[in-house]
Amino acid sequence: MIDQLKIIGQYLLPKHLVSRLAGKLAAAKTGRLTTILIKLFVAKFKVDMSEAKHSDPASFTTFNDFFTRELREGIRPLVTGEENIILPVDGTVSQLGEIKAGRVFQAKGHDFSLRELLGGRDDLAAPFDEGSFSTVYLSPRDYHRIHMPMTGKLEQMVFIPGDLFSVNPLTAENVPNLFARNERAVAIFSTAIGPMAMVLVGATIVASIETVWGGTIAPAENREIQYWDYSDQDITLEKGEEMGRFKLGSTIVALFPKDTINFAEELQAGSVTRLGELFATTAETK
């Protein structure tokens, strides 16, 4: 009953308004109040500040600075080997597996359209049909920078405006089409195994989605689908390099073409992920 009330509350909540107000608060420089807020957040969500480059809450001028904090150098070593694809974020696997008949599995009883996830573009969806996907949820306590699973050249980006439901496991199990209805930014890279898509999904209280090449992508004043073509630019990001960040948590969906990768055997729904550990291997190493 309580879970159902939480879901109903999300449908009724003015999610965009609440998220934008939270964003203004998170960006505000309020001195001691900011430090108190960070300390309360660290205690509530059991954030491990020993992993952060700056572990003292008083060293952050805004809540956003704290939330997008850097890790200590060397704390997340990268798996070596050209055949190894690394986990791009700290988080928890929501689901992973094969894309079947253009549908991506969300949770028991729910899946969603690959084409819709990628902004309704058949040309973007086609290379990933019957391919592989992994959805990873970043909780409030996690590190919120997103890194490259493998080296790739940026080809295209799409911003798709949408809703801002929470993306936690409860919502994933109860809100149909969740990841294809929420606001999101899609980045398409060319890699040694073909195209790779990294989908950064917004959520309730997510004040911003940013990329290293485009800055703030969301929130956006323009509430229509926006498209950028980078194919004539040399924007190449190496494996492990930062590609973007969330301000106040969310989810990423990684997409790979058919028969190009094998996910690490130990990964399954519920697996805890750590940046730099083994995500998958290229298919020829099977």
Q: Which residues are catalytic?
A: 90, 147, 250
Alpha helices in 127-281, H assignment, sequence order: 169-174, 178-181
List own/partner pairs for 224-230 with CB under 8 A and 24 or more apart. Answer: 224/161, 225/119, 225/120, 225/158, 225/159, 225/160, 225/161, 226/158, 226/159, 227/119, 227/156, 227/157, 227/158, 227/159, 228/156, 228/157, 228/158, 229/155, 229/156, 230/154, 230/155, 230/156, 230/157
Say if strands 84-86 and 278-282 run parallel, antiparallel, or are unpaired.
Answer: antiparallel
Q: How many CB atoms lie within 10 A of CB 232?
A: 6
CB 143 within 8 A of CB 267: no
